[in-house]
Amino acid sequence: MDATLLDAEADAAVLRVYRQVFAVLAREAGAMIVDPDLLDADQAILDAFAEAGSDGLTVEQATLACRAYPHDVIVRRFDVLRQYGAITKLVDRPNELRHRAAFAPYVMLMFLRRMSVQGGQGELHQLLTLEAHSVSDPQATADDGKASIGRLTKVFRLLGNELAILVSTSTTAQLRENAQLAWGNERLIEQAEKVHRLVLDRWPELHRECTSLRMALAAYADAVQLAAGRLVERAGTTRALGLLPIETWLTFSRSSEPDTLAAVLDGLLFDAAAPDFSAQTLVEAVETGRRSGTARMAPPRPTADADAPESAAATDREDLRAEAERVLAGRPSVDIVEVIDGAGDWITARRVLAELTAAHLHDELDYELVWSDGMRIDPTAGTPWATEGVFRRVTR
């Protein structure tokens, strides 16, 4: 009789905690939330209670503390939390306005948030650590060990089932979206095996339960391998890269020695740079580089317009001077980046730069174009690139 009463009381206590922790997931009494933002509102309310101390909060104080959220949202959430017993009156009497919050819903909130990030794997890792801890406890009994093994067996069966069903029923895209089920499984299995070892060493009579866990682990590992194999098989020649989490890439790129990085290209051959310089290319380059001066040449070919560049040089000197002065605008020197930005589009900037270069090369004009770094234009993409540099007046 007493025992039954005690049981009933214990059941009620469990139910109370259940109701409390699920309060944060309740949209209203009897329905689950569909908007994750509501979790933020819940957290704000619980945060406010944490700050309030032992005097608790009235609804008005709570909405004031949560004024970053719409008033009616906070009132509604407050109500839901109260219905589930996550928030209760400070003293249970009709006119009591102040409330207190239970801690369990907050723990649940933290759990939910972490689960949402990693799909529960992080929590599973921690759960496994806790299980290892509890079966190592000197006070632990064979029943504790059995319960622990039982829980782990169920978790890995569920994990394995989920993945196996995904592999057999879903598209590659769906599978890829759920790839986190397969990530980091190595560590999970290792941890479970550790619990298994502890239990089997301590309570050899639990060998049947332990066998079940081993089978669950094997089934999970198989499902993981099946999923990975199917993904890799369908990933083409570059898409399997997307099956690893971003963190793996970042860790690899940040922590690897150059040798390790370089080894990724083992067995691959690339072409060496092999630019071509025909005689004609050299002639044209020399011709454009030479604006005037004592060393003149008639271009070897074509000969018809041999003097054109020279006469152009002679006539455009004043144009160049005008352009240079426009760019300098009375200043002794000007930043090239500013000039390029000022030009707007690249076509214009290129024309301006060409003029400034010509002014720089013109021996009758006292201007200088100085780059602080030799590389600034990328002809590959036909895309300009400007580094720091100045265009300035010089005294020769």
Partner 1 sequence: MSTEAVERRLHNALWWAKVQSAGPLEVDPDTPAVAGLTRAVAPDGSSVWLVPTLPSGAGHGVLDELDAPPVAVEQPNETARILAICVACCWTDRSAPAWPGSTGTLAQIRSVYAGMRGRPEQSSDLTLIIGSLRRLHATHWLLWNDKAGEVRLGPRVITWTAADLSTLRDLCRHLPDPPPPILSTQPPAEPVSDTALPTATAPPDATLRSATAPSDTALPSATAPSGDEGEADE
Partner 2 sequence: MSEQHALFDPLLQDLSDRSRDEVLAAFSAVQYAAHPVAEVQLAGLRDVTLRRQVQRMLKLIGRTLVHVDGTHWTAGYDDDIAASLVAQGWQPLSVIDRAVLVLVLIHSVAIPRSEGILTGDSWKSARPTTVDELRTTRISGEERRLALQRLRAAGLIQLSGDHSGGPSYIPGPQLQRLTPAARRRLQDQLILAAAPASPIAEAIRARNGGPAEVSTTTGEGI
DSSP assignment of 73-99: HHHHHHHHHHHTTSEEESS-STT---E
Partner in contact with 72, chosen from partner 2, partner 1, none, beta carbon below 5 to 8 Å by kind = none
Cβ atoms of residues 53 and 46 within 8 Å = no
Member of 136, 174, 256, 280 binding partner 2 (CB under 8 A): 256
Asked if residue 297 binds partner 1 (CB under 8 A), the reply is: yes
Cα distance between residue 164 and residue 243, in whole Å = 17
Q: Residues, the chain, total?
A: 396
Member of 273, 302, 304, 330 binding partner 1 (CB under 8 A): 273
End-to-end CA distance of the chain: 112
Site string for partner 2, 268-297 (x = CB under 8 A): xxxxxx-xx---------------------
Cβ atoms of residues 243 and 234 within 8 Å = no
Q: Which long-range contacts does 101-107 make (Cβ < 8 Å, 24+ apart)?
A: 101/45, 101/46, 101/49, 101/50, 102/20, 104/17, 104/20, 104/21, 105/20, 105/21, 105/23, 105/24, 105/42, 105/46, 105/81, 106/43, 106/46, 106/50, 107/21
Q: Which residues contact 218 (CB under 8 A, 6 or more apart)?
A: none
Asked if residue 304 binds partner 1 (CB under 8 A), the reply is: no
Q: Which helix (H) or strand (E) holds 370?
A: strand 367-371
Residues 129-148 that bind partner 1 (CB under 8 A): none
Q: How far is the CB of 339 from partner 2 (least distance, A)?
A: 15
Q: Which helix (H) or strand (E) holds 101?
A: strand 99-101
Q: How many CB atoms lie within 10 A of CB 63?
A: 21
Cα distance between residue 396 and residue 381, in whole Å = 37
Residues 359-388 that bind partner 1 (CB under 8 A): 361, 363, 368-372, 374-375, 377-380
Cα distance between residue 124 and residue 191, in whole Å = 10
Q: Residue 27: helix, strand or coil by DSSP?
A: strand
Member of 127, 243, 328, 369 binding partner 2 (CB under 8 A): 243
Q: Which stretch binds partner 1 (CB under 8 A): 173-181, 189-197, 277-285, 345-353?
A: 277-285
Asked if residue 77 binds partner 1 (CB under 8 A), the reply is: no
Using the minimum distance from each CB to partner 2, give the nearer residue, 101 or 228: 228
Q: How many CB atoms lie within 10 A of CB 249?
A: 11
Using the minimum distance from each CB to partner 1, give the nearer residue, 90 or 283: 283
Residue 283 tokens read as: 């002639």
Q: Which stretch binds partner 2 (CB under 8 A): 82-90, 138-146, 252-260, 359-367?
A: 252-260
Member of 4, 54, 139, 237 binding partner 2 (CB under 8 A): 237
Q: Which stretch binds partner 2 (CB under 8 A): 114-122, 256-264, 307-315, 325-333?
A: 256-264
Asked if residue 225 binds partner 2 (CB under 8 A), the reply is: yes
Using the minimum distance from each CB to partner 2, give the nearer residue, 2 or 259: 259
Residue 33 tokens read as: 């939330």
Asked if residue 274 binds partner 1 (CB under 8 A), the reply is: yes
Asked if residue 120 binds partner 2 (CB under 8 A), the reply is: no
Partner in contact with 305, chosen from partner 2, partner 1, none, beta carbon below 5 to 8 Å by kind = none
Q: Which residues pair with 2 in a beta bridge?
A: none
Q: Specify the residue for token string 């060409």.
A: 354
Member of 130, 232, 286, 312 binding partner 1 (CB under 8 A): 286
Partner in contact with 180, chosen from partner 1, partner 2, none, beta carbon below 5 to 8 Å by kind = none
Partner in contact with 185, chosen from partner 2, partner 1, none, beta carbon below 5 to 8 Å by kind = partner 2
Member of 275, 330, 332, 344 binding partner 1 (CB under 8 A): 275
Which residue from 223, 245, 115 is spatially nearest to 177, judged by alpha carbons?
245
Member of 5, 12, 272, 329 binding partner 1 (CB under 8 A): 272
Member of 139, 278, 380, 395 binding partner 2 (CB under 8 A): 380
What distance lies between CA 347 and its chain's CA centroid? 37
Asked if residue 371 binds partner 2 (CB under 8 A), the reply is: no
**Binding region for partner 2 (CB under 8 A):** 182-183, 185-186, 224-225, 227-229, 231-233, 235-246, 248-254, 256-273, 275-276, 375, 378, 380-381, 383, 385-386
Binding site for partner 1 (CB under 8 A): 269-286, 288-298, 300-301, 361, 363, 368-372, 374-375, 377-380, 396
